[in-house]
Amino acid sequence: MKNLFVIICMIIVSSISMQAQDQYIFPYGGGQNKAFIKQIIKLTGKERPKICFLPTASGDSEQGIIRWYDLVHDLSVEPYVQKVWISSYNQKASFEEVLLSMDAIVVGGGNTLNMIAIWKAQGIDVVLKKALEKGIVLAGGSAGSLAWFDNGTTDSRPKELSVVECLGFLPYSHSPHYHSEEYRRPLYHKNILNGIFKAGYAMDDYSGVIFKNGKPFKVVSTDPSKYNSYFVSVKDGKVVEEKLTAEQIE
């Protein structure tokens, strides 16, 4: 009986271990490129992963979709696109059926506020949570990096940057395009100092942070001498910006 009990326990532990999937999220400040896609391919652990591009933030821009296919045409991937401006006449598979069949999902840039609102109206936010729990890699830049955090600043409205509440898969705030737009940095600092945002990650274009199971795992950049990522927090009543050591990728 004792041996049988031990065997049953081993089977249960093995089953739990098999079900537990590492969860990867790879936000980058902006600048979609092959170097980032290569990282996403590695994270899937597949030789030829199925990767779906979500161009929601750009209004399913045909130009963005063409650029996606051009970007990956010579890489070892099976590329897909999931539009939201569709109908039941021209798509018979649900958003859930499509997205949960992928190995990775890449979210494009554009209007973050509109993207989040549409996702919630369509239930895509719930599907993306299921995808993460299933071990499907989530990634993206600009709006596609903001998506995964608690909140951040966006240029989705006229006149000035505004706060956007995002999906909260990563329990931090976020600022994309950190180096390229001089007004983002002081506003991000101000919001963290005033408690509007909790501590978070700011990313230059062409730089990003790979999160594993909700925690930073690896920092990458196409050129660490120009493009970096930072952890921004408050210590002793002052904003502290810590530049993170990045691995150069090509």
List residues with catalytic annotation. Answer: 142, 177
- Of the CA atoms within 13 Å of residue 233, those in its CB half-sphere come to 7
Residue 186, both tokens? 């002081």
Q: Is the dihedral of CA 102, 110, 120, 193 positive or negative?
A: positive
Reduced 3-state DSSP string for 42-83:
HHHCCCCCEEEEECHHHCCCHHHHHHHHHHHCCCCCEEEECC
How far is it, in rounded angstroms, from Cα 209 to Cα 146?
12
In SS3 terms, 132-168 reads as: HHHCCEEEEECHHHHCCEEEEEECCCCCCCEEEECCC
C-alpha 123/C-alpha 95 separation (Å) is: 8
Report the alpha-carbon distance of residue 119 to residue 165 in Å, rounded.
13
Judge residue 148's burial from the number of C-beta atoms within 10 Å of its C-beta, 0-12 exposed, 13-18 middle, 19 or more buried: buried
